[in-house]
Amino acid sequence: MRGDTIVVRPGERLPVDGVITSGASAIDESMVTGESLPVERHTGERVIGGTLNTTGAFRYAATTLGSDSVLARIVRLVHEAQGSRAPIQRLADRVSAIFVPTVIGIAILTFVVWVVVGPPGSVLHAVAAAVAVLIIACPCAMGLAVPTAVMVLDGEGRRARRSVQGR
């Protein structure tokens, strides 16, 4: 309940958000902030539920629970972001819809030109030239990077949701 005092020992995860009432510790907040080093927290400072206490023991008062917690708000924001498409993703989709078929067409044209104009038995060279066009012209960075980033974000959001739900 809000206002309850919670005792946290080294190696334990903080169950809810709160404010330290006594003691001090270094807390690994990397799951929320991305900071790779534990952050020193002392009496009167806020702590975030789901983070990891690394060194000292302390007591803290619960301030936010459930859907009001920092982690729950992050999960909610990620869920909302999943429901909408970023403007850059729409642009990348539009460009890819033209760019990829054009590059494939150029690769096919390259193959045909090599077979027709090249020396007899140049099918192997034609295939190599067509593949070279595909590899050089179409790493599909725009077509693949945005969906890949969205998939990674989706996975992280699901993992965050599971940790909030206690699974």
Residue-wise pLDDT tens digits, 120-147: 888 888 998 988 887 777 665 555 556 6
Q: CA-CA distance, 34 to 64, in Å (whole number)?
A: 21
What's the pLDDT tens digit per position in 41-51? 999 999 998 89
The per-residue pLDDT for 149 is: 67
Cβ(99)–Cβ(141) below 8 Å: no
Query: pTM (2 decimals)?
Result: 0.49
